[in-house]
Chain A
């Protein structure tokens, strides 16, 4: 994947407002067909970046390449955007709205009709076609909005907090759809605060804080980078004295089972096992991988300090 030309390339993008700089030399690449997490605390500049990718506003410096070409106005039909603050015309029938938005994204009337039918059936919302938005619940509206985002088969889908307002069942449905769209070849940018969905879905992330990318890369690599080499050992018996390369940071006993948190300063887990195997019965040995929540908080706090 790395030898491939990136699908979307953000290059040294700078955007200044009168009193502050929203983006200060932001760069990252997104490979074709990836689910990319765009993370960052509120006010970090995510929305500004998304608006620049959508060509709602222009960057002061830098550029954005789509398939190696600078973005053009015509590219909007290749992009599907679900904003965080999203709404629909209250008095308009949802079927008509979906058609309208699809046509504005460049579909013909006939294509739009066909796509609306397909997606409404897929989400089992055909019966809502003639309803007005004001008659729908918030969750229902979110569904319709998601459908409107992907109607025109965009190659790049940008979802800003897509799960907000969804109940667990519909959130799961949405997740399946996102994976399905990825399998169909779409590239997805996913902006969120919900780190558990990042862990489940994203292959790559970029963490933006104070107008800059502070962390970027493959999710697995990032986790390794943040790993503290801590292992949780569950065992029965008495833990022997360990050599200096291992440090027991914490121990407790629960229902006849002992648990110890051990940091490996040198060597690896196999060496640890060799040392304890003679004295105790090992049940599990588990690497303590930091959650993205921790990584997020740690990175942002470190930067603030």
Chain B
């Protein structure tokens, strides 16, 4: 095996066998899937049913409060029992008192009694029910019918199409935005996490004085290359495991929740979002539209070429990582310990942060000049280009950017190698950027 191969093997194996890596690799997908699953579960297990007695002294709200999942409204029978005492002993029970008289134009005097505080959702539900009812009464007084008012509300949706040379494609702004930004963010994280890993590795070798032994066996360039490639392999493994495990967990969790429960949950979500007080028809419509949205997002996702996106992501991740990892390695070689890295890391972190800021602008307008230029500059291209890809990027732009990426990482690797070979043997000296600049021209 070549020396670089031996180094790659060590860098890879020591990290993969590390407990931290194993925990993070397993925890990552769990966190990702939790984001998807938890809302479902909350809907499912939220059986902490709260009962609210409604003492409607005004008589205006008969049958207005609709019970929803987790929230039951019951009219209080006339003939005041000593409800305050019974409330004290009851859990999850409250009493809403609507005064006999209140000003429609300045509604006040509504009170709620309970041993436990009123939840935000329940509070929203109550206030919007009261508000809707008051509005309805006002409408009645003004002589306009509710159906007329409803007919005034118009629902507008825009279906976007993209004109291409081959014809018209259904384009999907939602999915593109989501995918692009998620991709950019993951790219940003990965470059930082693995770049820092390279930095730490180099600093470790230097501060533990392993360098001198190593450097007499292998050329510094081989050492640097082995480390960077070994950690790249760790990154790819982690990325692949995350994707596979996340999909696995989500699929399992989804099949565990039967379609029926899913329906229920969608409906329940719709209700808790405050649709409950609308007419049953409207309710159904809203629920349907929400389901639509969920479905259409998946449909939209299908219109994006996922394998192409993943392929591009991998290309930009690899080249972007290689580009930055070389710079991180150079910084690591120039310092004696990790605390000295801050000042030298600054010029490296700035472009990454600029890229993530630009990415947010590019999302608004993926074909702007800013988008073009920042997806050409190799330092920002991995993040900015990945935002643009789901929206479609002209072939020549992509090709140019990819060529520039490859050139870019070769260039930074060359620079880093020159800094590294001097830096690794330089001890006890705090170096400045200017000093490092000089190293580039040493023989």
Contact = CB atoms under 8 A, between A and B. Distances in A.
A and B are partners in one complex rather than unrelated chains: yes
Interface of A: 51, 54-57, 73, 76, 79, 81-83, 85-92, 100-101, 103-105, 145, 148
Contacts of A83: 209, 212-213, 216
A56 B208 contact: no
A56 B14 contact: no
B14 A91 contact: yes
Contacts of B205: 89
Given A51-B425, A85-B427, A104 B214 contact: yes
A223 to B, nearest CB: 33
Interface of B: 1, 3, 6-7, 10, 14, 204-205, 208-210, 212-219, 425, 427
Contact of B210 (A51, A55, A89, A103): A89
B20 to A, nearest CB: 11
A101 B427 contact: no
Given A92-B14, A103-B6, A104-B6, A81 B208 contact: no
Contacts of A100: 6, 10
A30 B285 CA distance: 94
A79 B209 contact: no
B72 to A, nearest CB: 59
A14 to B, nearest CB: 13
Given A54-B215, A73-B219, A104-B3, 10 more contacts: A51-B425, A57-B425, A81-B213, A81-B216, A83-B209, A85-B212, A85-B427, A89-B204, A101-B213, A145-B213
Nearest to A91: B14
Nearest to B208: A87
- In the complex, which of the residues B3, B7, B213 has the most CB atoms of chain A within 10 Å of its own CB atom? B213
Nearest to A105: B217
26 contacts: A51-B425, A54-B216, A55-B216, A56-B212, A57-B425, A73-B219, A76-B216, A82-B213, A83-B216, A85-B209, A85-B427, A86-B212, A87-B210, A87-B213, A89-B204, A89-B205, A90-B208, A92-B14, A100-B10, A101-B213, A101-B217, A103-B6, A104-B3, A104-B214, A105-B217, A145-B213
A82 B216 CA distance: 10
B436 to A, nearest CB: 14
A101 B3 CA distance: 10
A104 B218 contact: yes
- In the complex, which of the residues B208, B216, B219 has the most CB atoms of chain A within 10 Å of its own CB atom? B216
A56 B213 contact: no
A86 B209 contact: yes
- In the complex, which of the residues B209, B210, B427 has the most CB atoms of chain A within 10 Å of its own CB atom? B210
A88 B210 contact: yes
Contacts of A90: 204, 208
